[in-house]
Structure 1
Amino acid sequence: MPRHELSAFEKHIRRIIAQNLKSASWGMTQAELGAKSGIPTSTISGYFAQRSTPSPGNVQRLADALNMPKSAIDPRFDDHLFEKQPGIEDLYKQLSPNRQQIVLHVAQEQLTEQRQQS
């Protein structure tokens, strides 16, 4: 159970990771992948079922076990990931004025919280 509601981006990342792992480990059981990577089978199962997101260390272990770059498993390691995503300004401009106010309000709350934690 996540500690917070996952964003659409986080859900999308989990879906891609699951798809990439299923494709890269085709013909291998989750137990075999776990043994090869040193990651518990229950954890591997969580990645496949999109219940959890692998840590950077586990992405590396999986990449090593599957003999592939980390970016082939987890798109967050792709140097061009954020170039493919629309910028916040582009998204903001597409929103109605009412929704733009919501975005501004949330951003202000986040900035206040960040400053208080520093």
Structure 2
Amino acid sequence: MPRHELSPFERNIRRIIAQNLKAASRDMTQAELAEKTDIPTSTLSGYFAQRSTPSPGNVQRLADALGVHKSAIDPRYGDDLLEKDVCFEAIFSQLSPERQKAVLTFAQQQLRAQLDNLSK
């Protein structure tokens, strides 16, 4: 049980990490992965069951053992986090109504500026 209530963003990240780990390690057992990474099987089990989030060091160990980039395990290491819409809605929903309005106002200003640049 977490020491604090997980945010929607944190729950979503755990879900994605678990899915990615299952896909990347489908040809090996958790015991084999633990042996390759020196991460205890109980810790790996927590990642797979969405009970815990791997540290940056463990994300790298997992990526190295599985022969993938660390963003293939944890999307927070990728350049396209917002493009994948992994977290934007979760973060936005946690903002106060005033801050949500500020985000929307900023986005509208950016869109207008982009459209102005295209029409030049």
Calculate the TM-score normalised by the size of structure 1: 0.72
Give the corresponding residue for 2:78: 78
- Give yes or no for the alignment of 1:22 onto 2:27: no
Higher RCO (CA 8 Å, separation ≥ 6 residues): 2
CA distance in structure 2 between the aligned counterparts of 1:42 and 1:71, rounded to whole angstroms = 23
- Equivalent pairs counted in the alignment come to 96
C-alpha RMSD of the superposition: 2.5
For residue 81 of structure 1, give the secondary structure of its aligned residue in structure 2. coil
CA distance in structure 1 between the aligned counterparts of 2:10 and 2:4, rounded to whole angstroms = 11
Deviation at 1:2, TM superposition (A): 1.2
1:58 maps to a residue whose letter is N
Deviation at 1:82, TM superposition (A): 3.7
For residue 45 of structure 1, give the secondary structure of its aligned residue in structure 2. helix
Runs of 4+ in 1 over 6 A off after TM superposition: none
Give the corresponding residue for 2:32: 32
CA distance in structure 1 between the aligned counterparts of 2:97 and 2:20, rounded to whole angstroms = 35
In the alignment, structure 2 segments of 5+ residues that lack a partner are 101-120
Deviation at 1:15, TM superposition (A): 0.3
